[in-house]
Amino acid sequence: MTKPVPDKAEVALEYPDKLYIGTFAHTARFDAHLDDSGISLSLHRPGSADMRKSVRMHFHYALFAEILRDLAKTVASLPADDVVHSAALRDAAEAFYLALKARVREGEADDEQVRLLHIME
């Protein structure tokens, strides 16, 4: 399900002989979700044929985890007085962490239920 882009994204795709640059702002839409092998991100800008564009990216889980680690190492570069962006990033990271933690708990509960079923048999 796509949602409106709340801020702005810039994408550059560089080849030896070409450079493609795209900007996605408030009129654009995005989708982000997990699938079987990783993180899927899409940006879509609607409009006429000459204005419309899309970017799709897929990162396997190990690469995305490494990206998150690298981002964590550079948090100090965020201006100390940029409370709005710091809070938004912190809250989003916390929501992601809590969702993953709950998923692990579900898996633990499933394992525990299987053990109980075996014991009851």
Mean pLDDT per 10-residue section of the chain, whose length is 121 residues: 94 96 94 95 94 95 95 92 92 93 72 53 48
60 and 107 share one domain:
no
Q: pTM value? A: 0.77
57 and 25 share one domain:
yes
Q: Which pLDDT score is estimated for 110?
A: 59
Q: Which pLDDT score is estimated for 12?
A: 96
Total domains, the chain: 2
45 and 22 share one domain:
yes
18 and 68 share one domain:
yes
Residues in Cβ contact with 29 at an 8 Å cutoff, skipping those fewer than 6 apart? 2, 3, 4, 5, 43, 44, 45, 46
66 and 104 share one domain:
no
Of the residues 55, 73, 91, the one at which a domain ends: 73
| φ/ψ bin of 89: left (φ > 0), alpha (ψ from -120 to 50), beta (otherwise) | alpha
54 and 14 share one domain:
yes
66 and 84 share one domain:
no
6 and 65 share one domain:
yes
| Owning domain of residue 89 | 79-121
1 and 49 share one domain:
yes
66 and 83 share one domain:
no
Q: Which pLDDT score is estimated for 30?
A: 97
Q: Which pLDDT score is estimated for 18?
A: 97
Q: Which pLDDT score is estimated for 16?
A: 97
60 and 97 share one domain:
no
List C-alpha distances in Å: 88 to 6, 42, 91, 120.
12, 20, 5, 47
Q: Which pLDDT score is estimated for 103?
A: 82
